[in-house]
Structure 1
């Protein structure tokens, strides 16, 4: 089942790359006209298309940010540290999970989480290049769309995977007999597939939006940092508001319920589970610190932009997004802290009925 899941995931990623390439290759088709009139039409369309690629900034704070040390030195330096730490640690988790996946069905969730974080960190290397190149994007429109989709998508993909892990723990500890009767591998694999299908579906709109624009005042091409704003563009507002709502706030509510229930249930049992409760609490705090600021600011930014055309939250969001990326280095610790001795001992104790107060 796990091999089928990984094969399907690889096929979906391959199809996404093909679709991006085909979209980018479709543009030269405008030049296939013949004759003087057709040549004139072709030149007119190319001129119009070139003009649409140019934007003029009207916000001094945005221009200052794009030229500042914050965006060209500090943020890429943080990203470099995260890539150096995150890629080896997630690869280690992935290797460890794949070697024990037959014995530990929940390892499939950690495989999904590790793959999501690895894809995120690989695409983060392109953002490092972008920021170090003074926020000048030179890799083309389709690559900009792919990096943007992975930056947003894999963040929410990680959140959904964390939610699935918390649900798994909740059912296992609060409802142990129900958990024991479930077909664990089938349930976990279906959960992972649903997470990745949601990820691909949610990122489709990004590939229909132009992401890279030439900024006339700075003479650079930005990637997703500067987009044309139309006050009547309600669909874009709805997308960037509903994305955090569905990708963060709902999973946050579910995860909060699961962790509170776990802590209450374990607090009734023997004192030896106190360390387990502390670890869960710490993980939940890290979850809030990494994801909450960026998502709240993202929603606030687009609502304010739509109502007042003010971009004051723009710089704060980029700092919060940088903080959000830390999750890719913290997620591997979930595997090392939870599913080994303390986690398996909790299951074993509950199933044997050693702690009746927990199973009631």
Structure 2
């Protein structure tokens, strides 16, 4: 990320994932983009909208999965953990909205600088690996139908989710270690940003982001998806009526996966191009300015995925809608019973007094 010569440095979205670096080429030869002021003026509003909707929707999803009288299936365990990861992300975003509104002056202290960005980074890794678990689950259920009863057990699903949270936390350690609040006298701001010890470390950790949060999981998901599609075609030809429940769950998984790819692939493509530019493999003022503007857009497109997932559960997930309706009816009965019990107690009290 480069410092803007006529305005504040871009400590916003790129600072979430990468480190700001001084680029003399940009300062001397590359003109400042007119898009910056327009983008930075609208980012806080957009972030707050995502925050409100994301918290409401993901809390609703977690309530349906956790409070329903029936235990969660293996796929629902994975999706509930995905909702939890999304909730962590959207809960961190208000601090970033305030940060941008304050012209990139961080006022929450060094601990919160590390913690907030740790939460954002954690979502980046965990969300994709929960989808990997969902893909593997669908693969086992549809491709290895004879053995899925032994392999697809809730206790194994919970263990898998625990490992994903631990793995995501491990990969997020650089954000915890290298995040720092530093005063920049030329801009009169205390900026929260990634302060890597060297240019090599910066490229190394950004490369790890691309490999571990995109290339490896997408390869696994792609393999499972191809096998799943083939299995669904075979079932359609042979008309396996007993697999309709699995097919419904698979349809929801496919839609959620497609939404994830639409929201996150542009971010990883821009990140890869940015790494190549900082490694001096690519160069050019126009490309540099385009990447920095695109980085703003694709990062917030990726954040929108945390709002989109719960909507897809309601639109596509028939089983989820059924659970939500049953939970609502359950609460209605409890409320009516409680109200009748209260009136009965009041009536008994009045009779005693009389």
TM-score by length of 1: 0.69
- CA separation in 2, counterparts of 1:343 and 1:260? 29
> Residue deviations 1:68-111, cap 9 Å, x none?
1302x222222122112111111011111112485333232122
Correspondence for 2:275? 302
Alignment of 1:232-271 (within 5 A): 233-270=199-236
Equivalent residues, number: 287
Report the alpha carbon displacement of residue 248 of structure 1 after superposing the two structures with TM: 1.7
RMSD: 3.3
Q: In the alignment, which of 77, 80, 84 is matched to residue 115 of structure 1?
A: 84
Match of 2:61 in 1: 93
**Closer, same or farther: CA 56–219 of 1 in aligned 2, 3 Å:** farther
Equivalent positions of 1:140-155 (< 5 A) are 140-155=109-124
Q: Report the Cα offset of residue 283 of structure 1.
A: 3.1
Structure 2 stretches lacking a partner, 5+ long: 1-19, 324-354
1:230-249 C-alpha deviation (Å, 9 max, x unpaired) = 5xx32221111112211222
Instruction: Indicate whether 1:325 and 2:303 are aligned.
Output: yes
Structure 2: distance between partners of 1:263 and 1:343: 26
| 1:165, distance to aligned residue in structure 2 (A) | 1.2
1:116-174 Cα shifts (integer Å, max 9, x gaps): 11111110111111112222212122211222222222122111111111211111122
Tell me which residue corresponds to 1:284.
Answer: 257
Cα 1:198–1:278 shift into 2, 3 Å: closer
2:188 to 212, 219, 232: 219
In structure 1, distance between residues paired with 2:31 and 2:187:
11
Flag the 1:214–1:194 CA change in 2: closer, same or farther, 3 A: same
Partner residue of 1:178? 147
Residue by residue, what CA displacement relative to the aligned partner does 1:6-47 show, whole Å, maximum 9, x if unpaired? Answer: xxxxxxxxxxxxxxxxxxxxxxxxxxxxxxxxxxxxxxxxxx
Structure 1: tracts of 5 or more residues without a match: 1-53, 345-360
Report if the CA contact (8 A) 2:118-2:175 is conserved. yes
Go from structure 1 to structure 2 and tell me whether the alpha carbon gap of 1:102 and 1:191 turns closer, same or farther (over 3 Å shift).
farther
Structure 1 residues 153, 277: closer, same or farther in 2, change over 3 A? closer
2:319 counterpart residue number: 340
Which is further off, 129-138 or 187-196?
A: 129-138
Q: 1:202 aligns with which of 156, 171, 182?
A: 171
The answer on whether the counterparts of 1:56 and 1:216 sit within 8 Å (CA) in structure 2 is no
TM-score for the superposition, normalised by structure 2: 0.71
Q: How far does residue 331 in structure 1 lie from its aligned partner after superposition?
A: 2.1
